[in-house]
């Protein structure tokens, strides 16, 4: 089985721009979660989607949004980028039911200048 894939792997943007990141889960997985990883704040949960519905959301401003498609692929969008949004954005997939293991993708490294 192919693993979780994320595109792009690296991205450089300037303040005020917006960005869209993509995540393709493992085949058969219906849950996709997004996390932000920074040296200062560590790994923080952004949101989770299951069968196209957002089931859970972390404490991030409304500039961070996401969606999931019928094939379980997910995108997250960050609008009006700030310098502090520079981070590694990780997505993780799972079957989304009683499972406890999440499978992480390699991440998208976003740099905001």
Residues that bind other proteins (CB under 8 A): 4, 31, 33, 35, 42-45, 48, 50, 55-56, 58, 90, 92, 94, 96, 100-107
- Nearest approach, Cβ of residue 11 and other proteins (Å): 16
- Nearest approach, Cβ of residue 85 and other proteins (Å): 19
Smaller CB separation from other proteins, 14 or 38: 38
Ranges of beta strands (E only) in 8-94 are 10-13, 19-24, 31-38, 42-50, 53-57, 64-68, 74-78, 87-94
Smaller CB separation from other proteins, 52 or 80: 52
Tokens 């997939």 belong to which residue?
93
**17, two tokens:** 């721009």
Smaller CB separation from other proteins, 29 or 81: 29
Query: How far is residue 40's CA from residue 30's CA, in Å, rounded to a whole number?
Result: 31
């Amino acid at each position: 089985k192919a693993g979780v894939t994320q595109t792009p792997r690296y991205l450089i943007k300037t303040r005020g721009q917006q960005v869209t990141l993509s995540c393709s889960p493992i085949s058969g997985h219906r849950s996709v979660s997004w996390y932000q990883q920074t040296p200062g704040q560590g790994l923080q949960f952004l949101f989770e989607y299951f069968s196209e519905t957002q089931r859970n959301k972390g404490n991030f401003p409304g500039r961070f949004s996401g969606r999931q498609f019928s094939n379980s692929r997910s995108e997250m969008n960050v609008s009006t980028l700030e310098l502090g949004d520079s981070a590694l954005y990780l997505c993780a997939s799972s079957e989304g039911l009683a499972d406890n293991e999440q499978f992480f993708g390699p991440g998208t490294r976003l740099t905001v200048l």
